[in-house]
Amino acid sequence: MTAFLTIKGQEVEAKGTFAFARRAKQEYKTGDTDAFADIFMGLIQNDEEALVKFWDCGTAYIPNRKFKREDIEAAIMERIEEEGDTLNLFKEAMSVLDASAFFKRKAAKLKDGLTILNSKGTTKEEKEENKQSYEIIKNSMVELGVTV
């Protein structure tokens, strides 16, 4: 699956490339966290801010692009109004990151890390909480078409 969005009248495709990684690190790195991981996890959680970051980074490969973050936000809003939902936007974004040869191994490691959550915890209550959290995340990934 590919991801397309019409921004300022121009249909653009989001790609998981080196330009994506560079833009994520330059614009969205906070503290010790990995910008790609933040975007990936945000998409799983259906976070609209992560969707904007995804499109900003996913179009960074376009030379001399003529649109800004605000234009991306407007394009996303227009698409949401057309479709009446955000599900397809999130599915397409996750598909790009999950299938990208550039990010495939990184995405797989993040998903593997999530499965550990299923059994982690020091107390019975903590283990049960983590298991419930894992199930919510797993269901979200399945809904978005991501292989778990």
Give which of 99, 68, 141 is closest to 3, Cα–Cα: 99
Main-chain phi, psi angles of 63, to 5 degrees: -70, 135
pLDDT band at 141 (very low <50, low <70, confident <90, very high): confident
pLDDT digits (tens, 9 = 90+) for 54-111: 999 999 999 999 999 999 999 999 999 999 999 999 999 999 998 888 888 888 888 8
For the chain, helix (H) and strand (E) counts, in that order, are 7, 2
| Percent residues over pLDDT 90 in the chain | 58
Predicted model pTM = 0.86
Q: What is the pLDDT of residue 77?
A: 97
